[in-house]
Amino acid sequence: MNGYRDYFKVLGVERGADADTVKRAFRKLARQYHPDVNPGDQSAEAKFKEVSEAYEVLSDPDKRRRYEQFGQYWNQAGSASGGTDVDFGRYGNFDDFINDLLGRFGGGGGGGPAGFGFGSGFPSGFGGGAGFPGAAGPRSQPLNLDAEATLNISFSEAFRGCERPIFVNEERVQVRIPAGVRDGSRLRLKGKGKQQPTTGRRGDLYLNLQLTPHPVWSLEGEQLRADLPLSLDELMLGAEVKVVTPDGEATVQVPAGTAPGRSLRLKGKGWPNRQGRGDLLFTTSLRLPASLSELERQLIEQLRELRHDDPRADWLSQARL
């Protein structure tokens, strides 16, 4: 356990903040501390991870409910409480809770002999895929030695693939994460689960991967998507626009008369998959300037005087009830 973190304070929002407020706060902080904006700044990178972790919990209604109810034990509560009210505050750590649970169900106390003592470097979210003797049936029911845990990875790590060290029962295990994994993907580590004290037999460990949201990119199926801010003249007259993709800089052709909300596609530049790569989609959006020069204002006023098209002509005729 890394100790209790007040995720509301991390994002700078009130405890009763709604989902939109939480999202706006995350986007603002994510842009401020993103590693691409602060290259080489480890404190900014750590802050970005902390902000992403807070958003991951507070943006999920179920996780937020458990977090507000159980505090620092919210993740364990989601898997181990079994729908009953448990006073997690009386346990010093999760091993104490597991030992107490095993003792009540006849499984024997002691985190070491039972093999439940995951090291402090193990990712948060040690889960409830395990079945305890007597918990859901007769004492003779076979012991489920499999275990689950949650591993948070960045959007970039999921896109490119990476290797991450974790600690299981004081053993350092190097986990290889393939390129193109998605939020909710599961990795199986054979023989790294819980250990049966009498035989030494080990179950498997299942890692549930959670992707930290990216401030620009999002994943929709096989397609990688981002908004592309454009000026009024670029939308109206067309332009060649320099953009950034996961492969580096590229040029996108914006056709004249492009409306906001249109998708511009780069084939084969999206999310990795078994066939290669999906497509990359840019959604055009109009970015108006915060202020205008005097000449710009005069030109826009001339455009208004010369404009002969009524943008609401069809809308007015169709909007009548």
**187-198, pLDDT tens digit by residue?**
998 988 888 777
Mean pLDDT of 21-32: 90
**165-205, pLDDT tens digit by residue?**
888 777 888 899 998 888 889 999 898 888 877 777 888 88
Does residue 303 belong to any structural domain of this protein?
Answer: no
Residues 65 and 196 grouped into a single domain: yes
User: Sign of torsion, CA 26 29 32 36?
Assistant: negative
Mean pLDDT of 242-256: 91
Which of 22-36, 83-97, 195-209 is the least confident region? 83-97
Domains of the chain: total: 2
Does residue 52 belong to any structural domain of this protein?
Answer: no
- Please, which residues have CB within 8 angstroms of residue 252's CB and are 6 or more apart in sequence? 228, 240, 241, 243, 264, 266, 282
Residues 136 and 75 grouped into a single domain: yes
Does residue 21 belong to any structural domain of this protein?
Answer: no
Residue where a domain stops, chosen among 211, 239, 259: 211
| Mean pLDDT, rounded, of the chain | 78
pLDDT at 121 over 80: no
Strands (E), the chain: 147-153, 162-168, 171-177, 186-189, 205-211, 218-220, 223-230, 239-245, 248-254, 263-266, 272-273, 276-277, 280-286
- Please, which residues have CB within 8 angstroms of residue 70's CB and are 6 or more apart in sequence? 76, 77, 88
Do 127 and 148 form a contact (C-beta atoms < 8 A)? Answer: yes
- The position carrying tokens 């093999």 is 115
The alpha-helical segments, DSSP class H, found in 164-262 are 232-237
pLDDT at 64 over 80: yes
CA distance 65 to 85: 14
Question: Where in the sequence is the domain holding 287, given as residue range(s)?
Answer: 218-292
Residue where a domain stops, chosen among 159, 181, 211: 211
Do 167 and 120 form a contact (C-beta atoms < 8 A)? Answer: yes
Does residue 2 belong to any structural domain of this protein?
Answer: no
- The position carrying tokens 């999202």 is 23
Does residue 281 belong to any structural domain of this protein?
Answer: yes
pTM reported for the whole predicted model: 0.50
CATH number at residue 228: 2.60.260.20
User: Sign of torsion, CA 21 24 26 29?
Assistant: negative
Residue 119 has what pLDDT? 36
Residues 174 and 101 grouped into a single domain: yes
Residues 126 and 144 grouped into a single domain: yes
Residues 188 and 249 grouped into a single domain: no
- Please, which residues have CB within 8 angstroms of residue 32's CB and are 6 or more apart in sequence? none
CA-based Rg of the chain, rounded to a whole angstrom? 26
pLDDT, greater one: 299 or 319: 299
Coil, strand or helix: which one is 125? coil
Residues 128 and 253 grouped into a single domain: no
pLDDT, greater one: 250 or 3: 250
**278-306, pLDDT tens digit by residue?**
899 999 999 998 898 999 899 989 988 88
What is the DSSP secondary structure assignment for residue 187, as one 8-state letter? Answer: E
Residue where a domain stops, chosen among 211, 243, 275: 211
Residues 115 and 95 grouped into a single domain: yes
Residues 207 and 69 grouped into a single domain: yes
pLDDT at 68 over 60: yes
In the sheet where 147-153 sits, what is the strand order? 147-153, 205-211, 186-189
Residue 72 has what pLDDT? 67
Burial of 209 (0-12, 13-18, 19+ CB in 10 A): buried
Give kind and range of the element (H or E) at residue 67.
Answer: helix 61-70
Residues 150 and 207 grouped into a single domain: yes
Of the pLDDT bands very low, low, confident and very high (cuts 50, 70, 90), residue 111 is: very low
Residues 162 and 249 grouped into a single domain: no
Backbone torsions φ then ψ of 233, nearest 5 degrees: -70, -35
> 213-237: buried (b, 16+ CB within 10 Å) or exposed (e) per residue?
bbbebebeeebbbbebebeeebbee
Helices and strands of the chain, counted as H and E runs: 11, 13
Backbone torsions φ then ψ of 169, nearest 5 degrees: 50, 45
